[in-house]
């Protein structure tokens, strides 16, 4: 084991990992994080904390991670390339490691156009592949991007995202290959609704033997309503929601739709568990954290292994 990450420990012992996420509030109230965290207690092995997702300003991922850490979680620090240059990124990596954060998820980040500050200047000094390599080089070689020695290596377990549903499909496994080459250790995928396409992608991943190098956690998000399903299909870039999913949601009365959404989510998890190379599930219940426990239980993912004291 390289790090004190709970998910690294579970993966190394051959276990199946469950993660979820916690979106920080649009304000300075730490209780929001504590309340969301309380809903995930005993349900997940690690919690992602999003980094100003959809480019909307929120409490920093770093600070929110610390609040969750104090609650006994193993947080996953998400970091996007949009807002920081290599100086800020490396500085935050050191700070995160110093405060006991064990995991980091390297992301490009949504374009600022989608958020509440579309007039902002973006950074993109590096991309997510290069960010992966930056963390790895700091941790394993003790070197900064600039070549100087890191005194006290940041022992972070390195993650990234991958979207099997984005285009061009033919290079999606190759792109994962680049991330693997750069040093990524776990991947959380974009929300999976089109299982058939996901299986095709996993086939390409296995053809390259990437599932041996990188632990792939399948991402799922329950629909709250047919409206949400339609929104995901039509408005969220890189999201693939098959028509039959929309039909299925539409086919039940409005008050039963949340239940149906959860049912679809649980069925998806059960299918994912059977796909060779899938090493875990990442449940993204967007502003619906109270349902994660129910989903995990129904999908047979509970109980979770005991968290070891770091």
Partner 1 sequence: MIVGNRKSLEEILEMIKSYKKVLLLGCNECVTVCAAGGEREVGVLASELKLWSSKEGQEIEIREQTLERQCDHEYIEQIRPFIGDYEVILSMACGAGVQYVAEKYRTKPVLPAINTSFLGVTLEQGVWSERCQGCGTCILDKTGGICPIARCAKSLLNGPCGGSSNGKCEVDKETDCGWQMIVDRLKELGQLDRYEEIIPIKDWTTSRDGGPRKRIREDLKL
Binding site for partner 1 (CB under 8 A): 81-82, 86, 108-111, 113-114, 122, 124-130, 133-134, 145, 161-163, 166-168, 170-171, 174-175, 177-178, 181-182, 190, 237-238
Least distance in angstroms from the C-beta of 190 to partner 1: 6
Instruction: Give me the least distance between CB of 161 and partner 1, in Å please.
Output: 7
* CB-nearer residue toward partner 1: 168 or 253: 168
Q: Is 259 left (phi over 0), alpha (psi -120 to 50) or beta?
A: alpha
Helix axes 243-250, 226-235, angle to 10 degrees: 160
Measured CA distances, 51 to 7, 12, 117, 204, 217 (Å): 20, 27, 15, 30, 19
Is residue 154 within 8 A of residue 93, CB to CB? The reply is yes
CB 102 within 8 A of CB 5: yes
Q: Report the nearest approach of partner 1 to the CB of residue 277 (Å).
A: 19
Select 170 or 255, whichever has its Cβ closest to partner 1: 170
Shortest Å distance, C-beta 53 to partner 1:
13
Quote the least distance from Cβ 181 to partner 1, whole Å.
6
From CA 5, how far away is CA 158, in angstroms rounded? 10
Nearer to partner 1, 96 or 126 (CB): 126
- Helix axis angle, 61-70 to 30-40, nearest 10°: 60
Q: Of 179 and 224, which has the nearer Cβ to partner 1?
A: 179
Is the distance from CB of 284 to CB of 220 less than 8 angstroms?
yes
Question: Residue 60 or 122: which CB sits closer to partner 1?
Answer: 122
């Amino acid at each position: 084991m390289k790090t004190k990450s709970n998910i690294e420990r579970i993966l190394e012992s051959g276990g199946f990992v469950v993660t979820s996420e916690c979106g920080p509030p649009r304000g300075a109230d730490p209780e929001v994080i504590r309340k969301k965290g309380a809903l995930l207690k005993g349900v997940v092995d690690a919690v992602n904390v999003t980094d100003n997702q959809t480019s909307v300003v929120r409490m920093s991922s770093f600070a929110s991670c610390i609040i969750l850490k104090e609650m006994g979680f193993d947080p996953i620090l998400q970091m996007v390339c949009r807002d920081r240059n290599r100086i800020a990124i490396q500085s935050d990596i050191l700070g995160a490691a110093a405060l006991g954060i064990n995991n980091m998820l390297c992301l490009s980040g949504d374009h600022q156009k989608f958020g509440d500050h579309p007039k902002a200047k973006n950074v993109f000094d590096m991309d997510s592949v290069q960010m992966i390599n930056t963390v790895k080089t700091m941790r394993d070689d003790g070197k900064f991007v600039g070549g100087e020695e890191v005194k006290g290596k940041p022992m972070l377990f390195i993650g990234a995202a991958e979207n099997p549903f984005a285009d061009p499909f033919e290079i999606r496994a190759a792109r994962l290959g680049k991330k693997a080459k750069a040093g990524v250790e776990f991947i959380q995928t974009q929300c999976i609704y089109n299982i058939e396409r996901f299986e095709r992608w996993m086939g390409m991943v296995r053809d390259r033997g990437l599932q041996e190098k990188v632990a792939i956690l399948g991402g799922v998000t329950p629909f709250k309503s047919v409206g949400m399903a339609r929104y995901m299909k039509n408005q969220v870039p890189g999201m693939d929601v098959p028509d039959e999913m929309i039909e299925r949601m539409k086919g039940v009365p409005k008050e039963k739709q949340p239940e149906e959404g959860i049912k679809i989510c649980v069925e998806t998890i059960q299918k994912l568990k059977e796909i060779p190379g899938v090493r875990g599930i990442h449940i993204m219940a967007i502003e619906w954290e109270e349902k994660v426990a129910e989903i995990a239980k129904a999908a047979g993912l509970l109980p979770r292994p005991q968290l070891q004291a770091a």
